[in-house]
Amino acid sequence: MKKLVFAVAFIFACTLSFAQDKPSKADVMKVIERSGAQGQMNAAKKQILGMIPSDKQAAFLIEFDAIIAKSQDKTAEVYMEEYTKDDIKAMLAFYESPVGKKMAEKSEKIAEKSQEAMMEIQGELQTMMMKYIQQ
């Protein structure tokens, strides 16, 4: 009986220490915000918005922003599963550093330039894929 009590106490203590290791959603959302992910989404939004008729853009933006909010919630859940509280604190410290801030500030421009670079090789990639698909 004594061993059972100790085993239950040990399991409870392990569970409690594991729960304390989980990062808060608020801290995770700060990491996502400070990482510049919003800049990348803005770049994508601009690109898509150019394809939407102007009379439908306002409605599109409302729906787009709602979907992005859901996406950020799902991303936060993944971060909370994969990273410890200490990991998230370290990420926050990085994004508060000068180079972390610079990364966040430049994320939209980097995303735009990356998209442009991908557009340049997209034809080449499609040709290569068709070569293998049609064989």
Residue 67 has pLDDT above 60, yes or no: yes
> Bigger pLDDT: 36 or 99?
99
Mean pLDDT across 3-32: 68
Alpha helices in 22-97 (DSSP H): 25-34, 37-49, 57-82, 85-96
Structurally, how many domains does the chain consist of? 1
Q: What residue has token string 């803005």?
A: 42
- pLDDT, one tens digit per residue, over 68-119 is 999 999 999 999 999 999 999 999 999 999 999 999 889 889 988 988 898 8
Q: What confidence tier does 40 reach under pLDDT thresholds 50, 70, 90?
A: confident
